[in-house]
């Protein structure tokens, strides 16, 4: 089974970096398999353990969570002040503070050599980069701007009616579930304790009886 939300594709094209990550985990259901997540998410058949939710319930839960996450990220981005994302703004402020330790050396004209520690040396042209010095935000990639994030999270997933509100199709054949699969490996055994072992009275040996008799005899 393969599921792809067109909204996620639109959001990716709107401003995400051209990097695709793939993640997955074993399905803990009666039919086994993997759940793979990228731009879309897919349930892949495989012989695995049998635990968890039914496949349709699981996929609908994921769709709802993505729907809520997009709205949450959009509302969060609307509250940001300035042109950068919140975390990127914090990192930029740290870099601006660290730049106070840099030492510029005049190389003639409008050119400067700037040293910011061992093996950290750069060349600056005040004429070409005068605007960048005044606005350090221009050094940040557009992937991390508020405008880009708003484009990404402006594509919303539409709400879906529940199964009880679905239209009935009389000419549609019933969809049968997959065949139940036996989990891999030897089944776990439950240890059974013997009944009454801890409460059982054990008769003393002849040697123990003789010692007890001697201890109880008055001298």
Burial 10-47 (b: 16+ CB within 10 A, else e): ebbeebbeeeeeeeeeebebbbbbebeeeeebbbeeee
Cβ-proximal residues to 116 (8 Å cutoff; 6+ apart), any chain: 98, 99, 101, 102, 103, 122
| 50, part of any domain | yes
* Whether the predicted pLDDT of 177 surpasses 80: no
9 within 8 A of 152, measured Cβ to Cβ: no
Q: Pick the residue with more confidence: 3 or 29?
A: 3
In the sheet that 121-125 helps form, which strands lie side by side, from edge to edge? Answer: 103-106, 111-115, 121-125
Q: What is the pLDDT, as a whole number, of residue 31?
A: 64
For residues 91-116, average pLDDT: 87
More confident residue, 209 or 95: 95
**Domains: count for the chain:** 1
In a domain, 141, yes or no: yes
Q: Tell me what pLDDT residue 100 has.
A: 84
Q: What is the mean pLDDT of residues 178-202?
A: 61
Could you tell me if residue 184 is inside a domain?
no
Q: Whole-model pTM?
A: 0.61
In a domain, 189, yes or no: no
User: Domain of 31?
Assistant: 2-165
Query: How far is Cα 95 from Cα 118, in angstroms, rounded to an integer?
Result: 17
Of the candidates 139, 166, 173, which has an alpha carbon nearest to the alpha carbon of residue 60?
166
What's the pLDDT score for residue 99? 82
Does any domain span residue 151?
yes
Examine residue 173 and state whether it is found in any structural domain, yes or no. Answer: no
Residue 195 lies in a domain: no
Confidence of residue 47 (pLDDT cuts 50, 70, 90): very low
Note whether residue 176 is domain-resident: no
């Amino acid at each position: 089974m393969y599921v792809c939300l067109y909204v996620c594709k639109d959001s990716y094209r709107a401003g995400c970096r051209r990097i695709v990550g793939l993640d997955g985990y074993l399905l803990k259901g009666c039919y086994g398999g993997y759940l793979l997540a990228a731009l879309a998410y897919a349930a892949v058949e495989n012989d695995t353990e049998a635990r968890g939710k039914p496949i349709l319930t699981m996929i609908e839960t994921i769709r709802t969570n993505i729907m809520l996450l997009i709205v949450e990220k959009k509302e969060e981005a609307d509250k940001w002040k300035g042109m950068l994302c919140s975390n990127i703004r914090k990192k930029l402020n740290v870099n601006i503070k660290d730049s106070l330790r840099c030492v510029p050396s005049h190389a003639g004209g409008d050119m400067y050599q700037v040293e910011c520690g061992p093996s950290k040396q750069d060349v600056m042209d005040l004429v070409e980069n005068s605007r960048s010095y005044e606005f350090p935000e221009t050094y940040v990639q557009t992937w991390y701007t508020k405008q880009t994030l708003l484009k990404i999270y402006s594509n919303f997933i539409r709400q879906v009616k529940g199964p009880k509100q679905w239209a009935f199709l009389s000419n549609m054949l019933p969809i049968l579930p997959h065949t139940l699969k036996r989990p891999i490996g030897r089944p776990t055994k439950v240890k059974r304790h013997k009944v009454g072992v801890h409460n059982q009275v054990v008769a003393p040996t002849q040697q123990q009886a003789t010692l007890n008799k001697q201890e109880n005899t008055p001298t």
